[in-house]
Amino acid sequence: MQRTVMDLWVGLFVIVGIGALLFLALKVGNMGTYSAAQSYMLIGNFENIGGLKVRAPVKSAGVVVGRVTDIRLNTETFDAAVTMSIDSRYQFPKDTFASILTAGLLGEQYIGLAAGGDETSLKEGDKIMKTNSAIVLEDLIGRFLFNKAAEGDKD
């Protein structure tokens, strides 16, 4: 086999290989939609996070604006401290409401941010004051049964 033909084939092989890597990164992966390069951190304390996991999306009005980066238990207040990194294109007011929601009936859990009306916006490392815990199905059923029992007593 001639050297130039071989060079051509190897060159094609390498270029197609790099193309495949780019395809995986941009089209299959999330590199095209979300970059961690410019973001700021927010912290939210939740009473109960349910099944929330690290890397779960943070959404506002259905748009993905960031990801959960860290979850740990605050041993002073015994609630969950959730750190999330938000794309710095999106600024939220100080009285933004954060709640843990579920996508569909069996879907994964994510944090929903509902913007408030405050004029100053949240900065790097700020704490979200208003939070709403995940809905735990067992609690819900328990409360329902308790209410039913209370109704039954009245009759």
The residue within the footprint of other proteins, chosen from 2, 3, 62, 153 (CB under 8 A), is: 3
Closer by beta carbon to other proteins, 71 or else 114: 71
The pair phi, psi for residue 34, each rounded to 5°, is -145, 125
Closer by beta carbon to other proteins, 53 or else 143: 53
Of 50-69, binders to other proteins (CB under 8 A) are 53-55, 57, 64
CB neighbourhood size of 134 (10 A)? 20
Q: Rounded to the nearest whole angstrom, what is the least distance from the CB of residue 108 to other proteins in the complex?
A: 9
Of 113-152, binders to other proteins (CB under 8 A) are none
Q: Rounded to the nearest whole angstrom, what is the least distance from the CB of residue 154 to other proteins in the complex?
A: 41
The residue within the footprint of other proteins, chosen from 31, 73, 136, 140 (CB under 8 A), is: 31
The residue within the footprint of other proteins, chosen from 20, 73, 141, 145 (CB under 8 A), is: 20
Q: Where are the beta strands (DSSP E) in the chain?
A: 39-46, 57-60, 63-74, 79-87, 97-102, 109-114, 126-128, 130-132
* Strand, coil or helix: 141: helix
The residue within the footprint of other proteins, chosen from 2, 4, 16, 151 (CB under 8 A), is: 16
Residue 73 sits in the site that holds other proteins (CB under 8 A): no
Put residue 97 in one of left, alpha, beta given phi > 0 → left and psi -120 to 50 → alpha: beta
Instruction: Check residue 45 and report its DSSP letter.
Output: E
CA distance 25 to 126: 32
